[in-house]
Amino acid sequence: MFRFYLALWAAKLMMVFCNIRKKTDTDLPGHVACKICPSFFETITKPKLIIAVTGTNGKSMTSALINDFLKYIGMSTSFNDWGANTKAGYATNFIRGVSLMNKARVDCSVLEADELTLDDQMAKIGPDYLLVTNIFKDSLNRSSHPENVFDHIENALRKLGDKTTVLLNANDPISSELGEGSRRLYYGMGDTRNKVLTNNTREYSICPRCGGRVKYDYRHYRHIGKFRCDKCGFRTPNMDYDAEFVDLDNRTMMVNGHEYPLISNTIYNAFNVLSAVAMLRELGYREGEISAFLSSQKSNDINDTLIEKDGIGYYTFEAGTKSASAVSTVFEVIARDPSDKMVVLLTDDEDNEEEGSVPAVDKLLNIYERDYGILNDPKIKKIAVTGLMGKQLKMRLTLAGIPNERILVLKDRADVQKYAGQMVIDKVFFINDADPAASTKDILESIVS
């Protein structure tokens, strides 16, 4: 026990030091605690309610919605919202939630959890709920294949057993198979009649039970939809939380007969809201208070006009660029927009390697995994690329069938406005990774200045 308190007090002292240095978004206290006391998770006092959120895409927004709602109704929470979603981040989260004498001082802990390291620590943490958003192709270098991601989450659920309730996406034929030994609840959507474009990035092609051909009654995006295998009977599970009607244009969604507002007009963000609603309804919160909370929320990074200059709207999309599927899904959203537009790819213009060096193999693999053919749309007048990967991106766009005259290689990202002003277009869409999002902000600030 002495070793535990030494770890806790050292971590608390480290937090004070980080606050003085104004570096609060760090998991360094958790690193210190786990280094001093290997059994730290087993000893630290945990709050009465622990909710973990994992999955390839959408876990950050979903966990933030859940945490913000709980704070909205007056609960005290701890939340690893600075992006540290592995062991040290979990530890720092719990350290924030206890006193110097290891007394709980928060009502709930919300954990955004990395799906590939979930099975290392989650059994020690013992969450009351584990929400899985989906499983997609992610970084080839790290995740290798969706089956690998599935195995890590499944291993964690086996260790947790029936003491953890798992919420699963019924429209995902991969992650919906998780947690056979757990108490499972499902959320999903009815047919939104969303125009789904043909994609080459395939997470899922055959039935996981019999190897037969899987058919879709409808698809929402990528491999997400209502599926069935006529050979063995594998199909979309019955939904406990059913979004039977979704109106993306008017940003509303009907779940089990009650209307909820959406925070954006994109289908994948509608799933984030749906998963959060399912979690909060399962916790017993009323439809009305959830709706009131959602009405106050706004997605500040997905398809909302940031600025307008000289009759052109400038929009930004964030996508985890190590995930070919995430970027390709953004391509779909942009291609469906009926406006005449320009697309600016900032997904690979940040590179730590010296100019002229050979790009990392995994970065090239990510580029060739994405469905750039979706951007071969006459409404997209120009596709601008920049940075150290600009020439590779141009080659990839050419191989996707996009004419050279529609590809623009920029030496300076600030030139976007100059070229946009020379075209008859309505919108400019920036696609950037979540990490270097500040680079897009700098461009937008230069446009309005």
Does 222 reside within a domain?
Answer: no
Does 421 reside within a domain?
Answer: yes
Q: Is the pLDDT of residue 204 over 80?
A: no
pLDDT tens for each residue of 305-356 = 578 888 888 888 877 666 777 888 889 889 988 999 999 988 765 544 444 4
Does 26 reside within a domain?
Answer: no
Domain enclosing residue 390, as ranges:
307-448
Number of domains into which the chain is organized: 2
Same domain, 124 and 172: yes
Confidence at residue 399, expressed as pLDDT on a 0 to 100 scale: 94
pLDDT tens for each residue of 32-50 = 999 999 999 999 999 999 9
Which H/E stretch holds residue 198? none
CB atoms closer than 10 angstroms to residue 202: 11
Same domain, 124 and 269: yes
Average pLDDT of span 175-191: 95
Is residue 310 classed exposed, middle or buried when 0-12, 13-18 and 19+ CB atoms within 10 A define those classes? Answer: exposed
Confidence at residue 368, expressed as pLDDT on a 0 to 100 scale: 83
Q: Of the candidates 245, 272, 295, which is a domain's last residue?
A: 295
Q: Is the pLDDT of residue 436 over 70?
A: no
Placement of tokens 């400038």 in the chain: 314
Same domain, 272 and 325: no
Angle between helices 146-160 and 118-125 (to 10 degrees): 20
Q: Of the candidates 270, 295, 320, which is a domain's last residue?
A: 295
Q: Please give the residue that has the higher pLDDT: either 125 or 21.
A: 125
Closest Cα partner for 326 from 390, 382, 266? 266
Question: Percentage of the chain surpassing pLDDT 90?
Answer: 57
Confidence at residue 341, expressed as pLDDT on a 0 to 100 scale: 94
Question: Percentage of the chain surpassing pLDDT 70?
Answer: 90
Q: Per-residue confidence at 200, pLDDT binned at 50, 70, 90?
A: low
Confidence at residue 364, expressed as pLDDT on a 0 to 100 scale: 74
- The CATH number of the domain holding residue 79 is 3.40.1190.10
pLDDT tens for each residue of 151-165 = 999 999 999 998 999
- The CATH number of the domain holding residue 314 is 3.90.190.20
Same domain, 316 and 291: no
Same domain, 118 and 58: yes
Confidence at residue 388, expressed as pLDDT on a 0 to 100 scale: 74
pLDDT tens for each residue of 377-390 = 999 999 999 877 78
Q: Alpha-carbon distance 204 to 197, whole Å?
A: 16
Q: Is the pLDDT of residue 415 over 60?
A: yes
What's the whole-number average pLDDT of the chain?
Answer: 87
Same domain, 408 and 286: no
Same domain, 279 and 367: no
Same domain, 268 and 348: no
Confidence at residue 360, expressed as pLDDT on a 0 to 100 scale: 59
Same domain, 152 and 281: yes
Same domain, 272 and 376: no
Three-state secondary structure along 3-14? HHHHHHHHHHHH
Does 195 reside within a domain?
Answer: no
DSSP 8-class letter at 39? T
Does 33 reside within a domain?
Answer: no
Residues contacting 124, CB < 8 A, separation 6+: 41, 42
Does 210 reside within a domain?
Answer: no
Same domain, 162 and 268: yes
Does 20 reside within a domain?
Answer: no
Q: Please give the residue that has the higher pLDDT: either 63 or 439.
A: 63
Confidence at residue 77, expressed as pLDDT on a 0 to 100 scale: 97
Same domain, 48 and 169: yes
pLDDT tens for each residue of 129-156 = 999 999 988 776 677 788 999 999 999 9
Does 351 reside within a domain?
Answer: yes
Cα–Cα distances in Å, from 69 out to 254, 283, 295, 344, 371?
Answer: 19, 12, 11, 34, 36
